[in-house]
Amino acid sequence: MQQHTVTFVTTLAGKAARASAESLLRAEQARIAAGQVAPWRAIEQLHFLSLFIVPAGVGGRPQLVLEANFDGGTFEFRAALVAQCRGFLDALYANCEGYPGPRAQASDARVREYLRASDLGYDVFFVSSPGRSTAQVEFERDLGARLEQRIASAGPVRGRRAPYIASLWAGLTAQDKERIQARSPRPWWTGNLLSRSRVAATLQLLLAAAVYLAFADVGAGCLTRPYPDCATLPPHAQALVEVLACAGIVLAGLALLAWFAILAHEFPRATRPRAWMRIVAFKLWDMARHLPMAVVWSIGVLTIIGVLAWKFWTLIVLGLVAGFAGLACLALVLGRIAAQESDMRVDEMNWSAAHMDGVRALEDRGAQNHFVSVTRIKPGWLRVATLRITLRAINLLWRLYFNPRGLSGIPSIHFARWLILPGGRRLLFVTNYDGAWGGYLTDFVTLAGEWMNAIWGHCRGFPRTYFLFFGGTRDEQRFKCYARDSQVETLLWYRRYPELTVVAIERNAAARADLARWAAKDFGARHGDYEAREEGIAEAKLDAWLRRF
Amino acid sequence: METLELDDIQGMLRGGYKHLPETSYLLLRIEDVVGAKSWLHRLLQQNWIDRAAETYDSSRLHEDICGGSICFSAQGLRALGLGAEAMRMFPSEFQEGMHVPHRARALGDTGASEPARWLWGGDGEVHILLMLFASQGRIPSCVKAIGDIPGFPRLLYEVRASLMTREPFGFADGIANPNVEGLTPRAGRPENTVKPGEFVLGYLNEAGNRPASPTVEVTLDPQSRLPRTQAGRADLGRNGSFFVLRQLSQNVEAYRAFVGNDELLAARMVGRWRSGAPLTRYPAADPRPGRFNVEDDFGYHRDDRNGFRCPIGAHARRANPRDSLADFSGVAPEDAQKMVNLHRLLRRGRVYDTVDDIGLMFGCFNANIERQFEFVQQSWIMHPEFGELRDETDPLLGNCPVNATRHLSVQHPLLRERVSGLSQFVTVIGGSYFFLPGLRALEFLAAL
């Protein structure tokens, strides 16, 4: 099930209201810390939830923020939240402007509507494992522990591994087996749009289209002028058909090359005589699987070629003009930004932020941590505009391209979001991550420094960036100092599985998925090992599976 | 390569005084500020504090000498008169100290190791750490000479330690210290060589930056003792470093009782045989038991990626994973080594041995405590999921409650074996973060 997120931003009614909300949240946090069952636990789809107060900006008032990450739609989440936590919401939001009021005065529907109206969503939303529900996380965790226990009691492996794993499998209940083999639905867009299989499938489809067009072209006689049929077409249509045919032939060549490259890549693994046939059959099946995406891509590519062919020179000239205009704009933007950057003082460091005691009190308890940062966007409309464009672009990139690899390969983020707060002058960042704060920020620097620059480089006090992407986080200590300085204390933090890191969740999931494949006698397919599909499982793969424990 | 100002760097950064076997760690507290400053001034005048330029001067190596290094905790700098404006330029971990509750939690100083039980440092009372290194039998007279200088701060605690060939559990120690370009006297393997900015403030580090250096307003330094930064402030940090000192009490009886005669188990916990021979090279037996073996040219990813030779959770493999991050973070092996080199420690440990206690005075230099010592301790040594392990910490340094035990996974081609029954072998009984200034900065502090 697809995860979603809400960010309810509401305005606190005054100083007294702020103090009252804060003490209420602290009391609730103390209850959670003392191990009492929080009302949030009853909301089964809820992964993480936090509440904090964003201090007043210039001329503004402080705002209360509730953010949550959960499975399924926002409507269902709001309904569950109001149904399970109405009392708490009443007490808390009584301090905020416009709240409909306690149960006696207002129906649940009005509270839901109030929350819906205050939901600002996100500008960038990152999920570490799209589609993995709380139920699945918890099942896989418990399954991992059960298997671990069974392995501990079964003792070491003697002889072949397949019977050993079969005995483990036999020891599971029918219900477990069913859940292990249940397919976990993943949203259609997850996975890398530019994956090898998808590109290959697209090229293959283009090949088919090209062959068809080439035949159609020859049939129409366009390549051999004397035939009269072609002459009946209007001149630009003739040209279009020709160009498409030529493009088709080139693409066909490319597709063949790609096909052979992929086959050659797989070939060393296939050592038995009939292996080639099997690989080709597997590739065809793989191609069919990717057909919908390939159709979309092919239509896109052919349209571009077609339009180019239709008005080639006009488009080239227009493109060049637009390109130069774009470059000039970019140069202007970068020049202006560079001028703003250059007057930063490099010695400015403040490691003595007063709010740190509260922040630290909640930190390093359990496997996970929570980080909220509010930063001020640099002055001028230009910064807000470039920041908005950057956030949109990054959100799209992460959805379509980086998704299966995490946030640029950072292995410790459960959920993260960026959001420009109302008024357009402040940027909110919220994340649920694993391990030490310092290590997490070090990962930001070493693995995703340029992305962080592209975003936070638009904010005041961030170490100097060059051309939006460079510099910045490379000055690691100043970046960390800045991040700490911008941190907002989390007043209440609920997490459903506080002991699990992303790595542990992924490991449990992989153990379950491999076991499911083993049960389906499909273990080798995932690893590109066509031999193993017939023989059950290669022993080496079983070893890899056993080493997960 | 940058040239280091060895004249301004304290001698201990350059080497561990291997020719001076005796040590005294004097933990001091400033009560009379004026007196303490004049004491510091005389200490400098009488050349008690070594300069790196002289430490390895061959003419001095055979002298009957006594060398010293001095460093200050954040409380110590405040006591000397550095104001809030100057202190905020120091990294927060140094300002707060090692003993504050959230840091103790993060470093794993809990249970028997919690700061409230420490012999020193547990409430941040230590202001100054003076380390004296001397030839055999000279320490008492050195300590007396220093104590006789007028204005000597109150002595809170003294630990006498010595250079021993083996740490108390019986292993050769300190083999894989990094070489520092332009600082350490000998050259080493390129992948074990790091830029000076990893340990000395004011120079380029492995990431190509200069580590954040504390600066003060120029009005505090009218005599221009300190160099100036580009932004026009006085650079207090240049040629200095941060020093982490922890007194680690080692429960030798419990350790011996657990290991027994099983030398292979002992080696698997450490990652090396007692001689220092790496398990990655010699998985079956120590090639030359009883001798010393400082072989260091191996990689875990290169030679033993599954941990079949040296267990993934072994102490040496956790403390310095070399190229093995390539196995679980998806980076290339050479990038993995580069990533690890962002988290190296320059260790300066000595063994203390009193009537009822024995252990290690663990000391290490870092330019960035948070990225170096704290990261190693938190993300590698004490991390329950290091290297995709499950719920285990360092076999030597890990904590566990009284009457409970821990385990160590030993990887095997068939199915990992789990060695259980490990108790807590090492307890932290003292610790603090210190700032070790350059010589000019010391003069500045004495004149503050």
Q: Running DSSP on this structure, what letter comes out for residue A269?
A: G
Taking contacts as CB-CB distances below 8 angstroms, the residues of chain B near A475 are 209
Query: Could you tell me if A159 lies within 8 Å of chain B, comparing CB atoms?
Result: no
Residue A276 has a pLDDT of 62
- In the predicted structure, residue B291 carries a pLDDT above the cut 60: yes
Instruction: Tell me how far apart the terminal alpha carbons of chain B are, to the nearest angstrom.
Output: 34
pLDDT grade, residue A270 (50/70/90)?
very low
Res A164 pLDDT > 60: yes
CB of A206 within 8 A of CB of A256?
A: no
Long-range contacts for A80-84 (Cβ within 8 Å, ≥24 apart)? Answer: A80/A42, A80/A43, A80/A44, A80/A45, A80/A46, A81/A43, A81/A115, A82/A108, A82/A111, A82/A112, A82/A115, A83/A108, A84/A39, A84/A40, A84/A42, A84/A43
Q: Is the pLDDT of residue B400 over 90?
A: no
Q: For residue B413, list chain A residues with Cβ-Cβ distance below 8 A.
A: 543
- Strand A470-471 relative to strand A465-466, pairing: antiparallel
User: What mean pLDDT do residues A17-31 have?
Assistant: 94
Residue B290 has pLDDT above 70, yes or no: yes
* A contact residues 492-521, partner B, Cβ 8 Å cutoff: 501, 503-504, 507
Look at residue B61 in the predicted model and tell me its pLDDT. 55
Q: Does B46 touch chain A (CB under 8 A)?
A: no
Q: How far is A94 from chain B (nearest CA, A)?
A: 34
Question: Is the CB of A543 less than 8 angstroms away from the CB of B102?
Answer: no
What tens digit of pLDDT does each residue of B176-218 get? 889 999 888 777 788 889 999 999 999 999 988 889 899 999 9
> Chain B closest CA to A504's CA: distance in Å?
8
- pLDDT tens string B46-59: 989 999 888 766 55
The pLDDT value recorded for residue A336 is: 77
Chain B contacts in chain A segment 519-548 (CB below 8 A): 543, 546-547
A477 within 8 A of B368, measured Cβ to Cβ: yes
- State residue B114's pLDDT score: 94
Nearest CA in chain A to B418: A152
What is the pLDDT of chain A when averaged over all its residues? 79
Spacing of C-alpha A240 from chain mean position: 40
> Quick check: B197 contacting A, CB < 8 Å?
no
Q: Does residue A226 surpass a pLDDT of 50?
A: no
**Whole-angstrom distance, CA of residue A149 vs CA of residue A147:** 5
Query: In terms of CA atoms, which chain B residue is nearest residue A154?
Result: B415
Contacts of A501 in chain B (CB under 8 A): 385
Chain A closest-CA separation from residue B230 CA (Å): 8
Q: Which of residues 87-106 of B touch A (CB under 8 A)?
A: 87-92, 95, 100, 102, 105-106
What the block records as the tokens of B255 is 């350790």
Tens-place pLDDT, residues A394-403: 888 877 666 5
Averaged pLDDT for residues B29-49: 94
pLDDT, greater one: B140 or A214: B140
Q: Do A442 and B383 touch (CB under 8 A)?
A: no
CB proximity A446 to B under 8 Å: yes
User: Residues A239, A240, A245, A251: is their CA dihedral positive or negative?
Assistant: positive
Query: Would the CB atoms of B416 and A161 count as touching at under 8 Å?
Result: no
User: Which residue did the predictor score with more confidence, B388 or A273?
Assistant: B388
Considering the entire predicted model, what is its pTM?
Answer: 0.85
Residues 358-417 in A contacting B (C-alpha not used; CB under 8 Å) = 360-361, 363-365, 367, 409, 411
Give the B window 222-241 contacts with A, CB below 8 Å.
229-231, 233
Q: What does each C-alpha distance from A459 to A61, A337, A424, A431, A452 come to in angstroms?
A: 20, 12, 12, 18, 11
- Alpha helix stretches (DSSP H) within B304-438: 315-319, 326-329, 333-340, 375
Q: Which pLDDT band holds residue A193 (cuts at 50, 70, 90)?
A: low
pLDDT at A156 over 80: no
Locus of tokens 């009284």: B402
Distance separating alpha carbons of residues B11 and B3, to the nearest angstrom: 16
Cβ-nearest to A156 among B91, B329, B414 = B414
Helix (H) / strand (E) containing A336: helix A312-341
Global ipTM: 0.87
Residues of A with CB below 8 A from B102's CB? 360-361, 363-364
Query: Smallest Cβ distance to B207: which of A151, A161, A474?
Result: A474
Residues of A in contact with B233 (CB under 8 A): 347
- Of B106, B231, B375, which has the smallest distance from its Cβ to A442's Cβ? B375
For A296-330, write each residue's pLDDT tens digit: 777 887 788 778 777 778 888 888 999 999 999 88
pLDDT of residue A445: 84
pLDDT of residue A279: 63
- Separation of alpha carbons B70 and B121, rounded Å: 16
Predicted confidence band at A519 (pLDDT cuts at 50, 70, 90)?
confident
Report the alpha-carbon distance of residue B444 to residue B448 in Å, rounded. Answer: 6
Q: What are the residues whose beta carbons fall under 8 Å from the beta carbon of B436, sequence distance 6 or more?
A: B10, B12, B13, B69, B70, B71, B240, B241, B242, B243, B365
Bigger pLDDT: A534 vs B333: B333
How distant is the Cα of A392 from the closest Cα of chain B, in angstroms? Answer: 28
Closest residue in A to B338 (Cα) is: A446
Rg, C-alpha atoms of chain A: 29
Helix (H, G, I), strand (E, B) or coil at B99: coil
Assess B14–A contact: CB distance below 8 Å, yes or no. Answer: no
User: B390: which chain A residues are within 8 Å (Cβ-Cβ)?
Assistant: 148, 504, 549
Residue B253 scores a pLDDT above 60: yes
Name the token pair of A34.
């003392």
Over 50: is that where the pLDDT of A29 sits? yes
Residue whose pair of structure tokens reads 């797989």 in the numeric block? A266
Contact A12, A29 (CB under 8 A): no
Give pLDDT, residue A449.
Answer: 84
Q: How far is CA A23 from CA A27, A82, A371, B45, B263, in A?
A: 6, 21, 20, 57, 58
The distance from CA A188 to its chain's CA centroid, rounded to whole angstroms, is 13
Three-class secondary structure of residue A419 per DSSP: strand
pLDDT at A220 over 60: no
Are A46 and A77 in contact, with CB atoms under 8 Å apart? yes
Contact between A466 and A475 (Cβ < 8 Å): no
Report the residue of A547, A548, A549 to disrupt the B interface, i.e. the one with the largest count of B CBs within 10 Å. A547
Closest-CA residue to A436 (of B221, B369, B242): B369
**A404: pLDDT strictly greater than 60:** no
Of A337-341, B103-107, B278-282, minimum mean pLDDT range: A337-341
pLDDT of A222 strictly over 70: no
Q: Is the distance from CB of B134 to CB of B22 less than 8 angstroms?
A: yes
State percent of chain A over pLDDT 90: 28
Query: Is pLDDT above 90 for A427?
Result: yes
In this structure, are residues B304 and B280 in contact, taking their beta carbons and an 8 Å threshold? yes
Whether B69 shows a pLDDT value over 80: the answer reads yes
- Residues 149-188 of chain B with CB under 8 A from chain A are none
CA distance B353 to B360: 9
Structure-token match 């409230």, residue found: B116
Q: Minimal CA–CA distance to B12: which of B319, B351, B239, B341?
A: B239
Residue A531 confidence (pLDDT): 42
Chain B residue numbers touching A157 (CB-CB < 8 A): 414-415
Q: Do A347 and B374 touch (CB under 8 A)?
A: no
Establish if B378 touches chain A: CB-CB under 8 angstroms.
yes
Of A112 and A219, the structure prediction assigns the larger pLDDT to A112
Task: At A540, list the tokens.
Answer: 């080496």
Q: What does the alpha-carbon distance between residue B269 and residue B410 come to, in Å, rounded to a whole number?
A: 9
Token pair of B135 as six digits: 């030839």
Task: Decide: B276 and B172 in contact? Cβ < 8 Å.
Answer: yes
Q: Is the pLDDT of residue B340 over 80?
A: yes
CB-based contact A1:A72 (threshold 8 Å) = yes
- State whether residue A356 sits within 8 Å of chain B by CB: yes
Mean pLDDT score, A519-533? 49
B72-102 tens-digit pLDDT: 999 999 999 999 989 988 998 999 999 999 9
**Measured between CB atoms, does B110 come within 8 Å of chain A?**
no
Q: Quick one: pLDDT at residue A118?
A: 94
pLDDT-based confidence at residue A263 (cuts at 50, 70, 90): low
Please determine, for residue A227, whether its predicted confidence score (pLDDT) is greater than 50: no
Closest CA to B264 of B410, B415, B422: B410
Tokens 């200490």, residue located: B43
pLDDT for position A132:
87
Of the ranges A176-190, A251-265, B14-28, B403-417, the best mean pLDDT one: B14-28
Query: Nearest to residue A408, comparing CAs of A457, A445, A462?
Result: A445
pLDDT at A195 over 80: no
Using CA coordinates, name the residue in chain A closest to B386: A503
Element housing A47 (H / E): strand A46-54
Rounded to whole angstroms, the Cα distance separating B90 from B95 reads 6
Q: Residue B69 — left, alpha, or beta (φ > 0 → left; ψ -120 to 50 → alpha)?
A: beta
Cα(B428)–Cα(B248) distance, integer angstroms: 5
Residue of B nearest to A158 (CA): B414
Q: Which of A148, A362, A477, A489 to mutate to test the interface with B (most CBs of B within 10 A)?
A: A477
pLDDT reading at A264 higher than 80 = no
Instruction: Name the residue among B229, B331, B378 with its Cβ closest to that of A439.
Output: B378
Q: What pLDDT is recorded for position A268?
A: 44
Q: What is the mean pLDDT of chain B?
A: 91
pLDDT grade, residue A367 (50/70/90)? confident
Position A535 pLDDT exceeds 50: no
